[in-house]
Structure 1
Amino acid sequence: MNRLLEIRTYRLKPGTLEAFDKAMQERAVPMLRSKGMDVVTYGKSDHEEATYHLVRAYDSREALEAEQAAFYGSSEWRDGPRSALVDRIETYLNTLLWVSQEAADSMRTLNDRHTEDK
């Protein structure tokens, strides 16, 4: 089975990386996972201090759009971690690409700092 990866990269405002990472780890990613989203990996960039990534996998483009519309339209998100994250983002870029399930699992394993709860 193939998976549609959404690779979201963030350029953060200066001095906000640690607070952004904490909000992702403690609030946003657990909420995403509780809603059934497949968070493959997320975290600080290894090469640049003000960048961050979030990679999610979906069954299709339609699934991506439906899951994200439900999540980002929810009061739980809007009244929850939204401002702790959005207020710290300077810019972001999304890239979509198809990969095999094995490739998604490999990405998950190779970048396991923030993958499955251990």
Structure 2
Amino acid sequence: MILEIRTYRLRPGTSEEFVRVMRQEAAPLLARFGIQVVAAGASLVREDGHEEAYLIRAFPSLAVRDEQEEAFYGSDAWRDGPREAILSRIESYHTVVLETSEAAGDVLLGRRS
């Protein structure tokens, strides 16, 4: 299983609306494209006083990740949907992609404890 962890440094005063849009609009849209959102929300601590948020997604393989992300980010549903509300609040972001065991992925996805 492939996990993608994306962290966002947000513009001041935007984290609450960013998280709302991410959870209520972007996450359901990602799911429509087969992208599994593990978690999304605001960071519990502020790095250097900045508002930060995260998005964790799971994929069965790197190839599937590439295909699903290309389809999602190239879609009218994204461009005409939550894209501007998300991007306008981001100052910068960082992505880490890692491979994990199916068992660890199951725990993260709530399929096994």
Same fold (TM over 0.5): yes
Partner of 1:57: 58
- Asked if 1:94 is matched to 2:92, the reply is no
How far apart, in 2, do the equivalents of 1:60 and 1:108 lie? 16
How far apart, in 1, do the equivalents of 2:57 and 2:37 lie? 4
The count of aligned residue pairs is 107
How far apart, in 1, do the equivalents of 2:28 and 2:107 lie? 21
Partner of 2:107: 106
Whether the 8 Å CA contact 1:12–1:51 is kept in 2: the answer is yes
RMSD: 1.2
SS at match of 2:100: strand
Whether the 8 Å CA contact 1:38–1:57 is kept in 2: the answer is yes
Whether the 8 Å CA contact 2:9–2:91 is kept in 1: the answer is yes
SS at match of 1:46: coil
How far apart, in 2, do the equivalents of 1:16 and 1:50 lie? 8
Unaligned segments of structure 2, at least 5 residues: none
Normalising by structure 1, we get a TM-score of: 0.85
How far apart, in 1, do the equivalents of 2:91 and 2:45 lie? 18
SS at match of 1:8: strand
SS at match of 1:55: strand
Deviation at 1:106, TM superposition (A): 2.2
Deviation at 1:22, TM superposition (A): 1.0
How far apart, in 2, do the equivalents of 1:35 and 1:29 lie? 10
1:46 to 44, 57, 60: 44
Deviation at 1:41, TM superposition (A): 1.1
Aligned residue type for 2:66:
E
* % identical equivalent positions: 43
Normalising by structure 2, we get a TM-score of: 0.89
Unaligned segments of structure 1, at least 5 residues: 110-118
Whether the 8 Å CA contact 1:42–1:54 is kept in 2: the answer is yes
Whether the 8 Å CA contact 2:39–2:56 is kept in 1: the answer is yes
